[in-house]
Amino acid sequence: MAELDIGQHCQVEHCRQKDFLPFVCDGCSGIFCLEHRSRESHGCSEVNIKNERLKTDDHSSYPCSYKDCSGRELVPVLCPFCEKNFCLRHRHQSDHECEKLKGPQARMAATKQLVKEIIDSKKGAAINKGRRGAKNSETAAKVALMKLKMHADGDKSLPQTERIYFQVFLPKGSKEKSKPMFFCCKWSIGKVVDFAASLSNLKNENNKATAKKLRLCNIATGEALPSDQTLETWIAKEDCPLYNGKKKKKEEIAERLSSKQHVCSQKDQEEEN
pLDDT (tens place) for every residue of the chain, 273 residues total: 455 667 788 888 888 888 888 888 888 888 889 888 888 888 887 765 556 665 555 557 889 999 889 999 989 999 999 999 999 999 998 899 888 887 655 456 667 777 777 777 766 654 555 544 445 666 776 777 788 888 889 999 999 889 888 888 888 878 888 888 899 999 998 898 899 888 888 888 888 877 788 888 877 777 788 888 888 887 777 665 455 555 555 554 433 222 222 222 223 334 444
Give the pLDDT of residue 242: 53
**Encoded amino acid at 243, one letter:** Y
**CA dist., res. 173 & res. 178, Å (int):** 12
Residue 86's pLDDT is 94
Domains 9-44 and 138-259 share a fold: no
The DSSP code for 88 is G
Query: Residue 242's closest CA among 259, 262, 219, 260?
Result: 219
CA distance 87 to 145: 35
138-259 maps to CATH 3.40.50.720: no
Distance CA 130, CA 113 (A): 27
Overall pTM > 0.85: no
Instruction: Give the pLDDT score at 266.
Output: 29
Residue ranges covered by each domain of the chain: 9-44, 59-97, 138-259
CATH architecture of the domain 59-97 equals Irregular (4.10)
Taking domain 9-44, whether its CATH number is 3.40.190.10 is answered by no
Q: What burial class does residue 96 get, using C-beta atoms within 10 Å of its C-beta: 0-12 exposed, 13-18 middle, 19+ buried? A: buried
Which pLDDT score is estimated for 256?
28
Of 79, 77, 72, nearest to 100 by C-alpha is: 79
